[in-house]
């Protein structure tokens, strides 16, 4: 497989990984670029071929192409938020059912 093909497939994986992360100050990420540069902050925008990372330290935003990325470490995902929301809803339903069963006793 040609090196450019490998790079393109890796860029697709990076894009898929970043797409799973939330956007905003709670979506902390650490990104290592192929040129050795390290970026820390949160995702402020996700585009078709790039993303924007805003630094926690100085608030500066930097746009990077998926093909420039060597490694992504995310600390917040959309899946985790959906799980927490589901647990909350289930808990509310259980409490409501308990309330209804107690109120019908009187």
59 shares its domain with 70: yes
Question: What number is the average pLDDT over the span 63-91?
Answer: 76
pLDDT for the residue 82: 63
29 shares its domain with 64: yes
Give per-residue burial for 17-38: e unless 16+ CB within 10 Å, then b.
Answer: bbeebbbeeebbbebeeeeeee
**CA atoms of 92 and 79, how far apart (whole Å):** 20
Look at residue 70 and tell me whether its pLDDT is greater than 80: yes
* Phi-psi sector, 41: left (phi>0), alpha (psi -120 to 50), beta: left
**CA atoms of 37 and 65, how far apart (whole Å):** 13
Over the stretch 40-55, which tens digit does the pLDDT of each residue have?
999 998 888 899 999 9
37 shares its domain with 84: no
pLDDT for the residue 8: 87
21 shares its domain with 65: yes
Domain with 90 in it: 78-106
CATH of residue 55's domain is 2.30.30.100
11 shares its domain with 59: yes
| Token digits of residue 84 | 């927490």
pLDDT for the residue 99: 77
| Token digits of residue 44 | 């402020």
46 shares its domain with 93: no
Read off the pLDDT band of 105 (50, 70, 90): low
Question: What number is the average pLDDT over the span 15-41?
Answer: 88
Number of structural domains (the chain) is 2
16 shares its domain with 51: yes
């Amino acid at each position: 497989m040609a090196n450019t093909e490998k790079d393109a497939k890796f860029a697709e994986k990076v894009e898929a990984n970043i797409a799973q992360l939330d956007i905003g100050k709670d979506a902390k990420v650490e990104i290592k670029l192929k040129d050795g540069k390290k970026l820390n902050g949160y995702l402020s925008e996700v585009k078709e071929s790039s993303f924007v990372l805003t630094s926690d330290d100085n608030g500066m935003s930097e746009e990077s192409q998926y093909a420039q990325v060597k490694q992504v470490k995310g600390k917040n995902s959309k899946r985790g938020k959906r799980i927490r929301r589901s647990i909350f809803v289930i808990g509310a339903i259980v409490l409501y059912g308990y309330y209804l069963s107690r109120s019908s006793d009187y």
